[in-house]
């Protein structure tokens, strides 16, 4: 049985839960997970922030949210894939 899908779903679920129910002490980490990739793309000229005034940090545009979602899905898929392969190799040699 592959560990990949259950692990991927657990990682994405944990990330989503942390985003919506995070205690204040982890909020800066979650904000960084959103804004750091977007700032890099904005510097390259991509329209990843909304143009309306938000009274603080600029809100991500729909493209920005799409980028963040796809980026973190790809990161968690890579982690699940690597972990699954390492676990399979360890199990096969044990």
pTM: 0.85
**What confidence tens digit (pLDDT) does each residue in 30-79 have?**
899 999 999 999 999 999 999 877 678 889 999 999 999 999 999 999 99
Residue 28 lies in a domain: yes
Tokens 């982890």 identify what position? 26
The pLDDT score that the predictor gives to residue 94 is 66
The DSSP letter of residue 22 is -
Q: Count of domains in the chain?
A: 1
Residue 41, domain member (yes or no)? yes
For residue 76, the enclosing domain spans 4-88
pLDDT in tens, 21-32: 878 888 899 899
SS3 readout for 41-56: HHHCCCCCECCCCCCC
Rounded CA-CA distance 67/5 in Å is 22
Q: Is residue 49, in this structure, part of any structural domain at all? A: yes
Q: Is residue 64 part of a domain?
A: yes
Per the domain annotation, does 21 fall within a domain?
A: yes
94 within some domain: no
Domain contains 93: no
Does residue 14 form part of some domain?
yes
Is 60 exceeded by the pLDDT of residue 1? Answer: no
């Amino acid at each position: 049985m592959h560990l990949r899908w259950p692990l991927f779903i657990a990682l994405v679920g944990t990330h989503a839960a942390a985003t919506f129910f995070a205690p204040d002490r982890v909020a800066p980490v979650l904000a960084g997970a959103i804004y750091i990739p977007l700032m890099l793309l904005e510097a390259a000229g991509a329209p990843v922030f909304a143009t309306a005034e938000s009274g603080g940090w600029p809100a991500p545009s729909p493209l920005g949210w799409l980028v963040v979602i796809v980026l973190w899905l790809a990161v968690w898929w890579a982690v699940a894939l690597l972990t699954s392969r390492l676990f399979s190799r360890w199990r096969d040699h044990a």
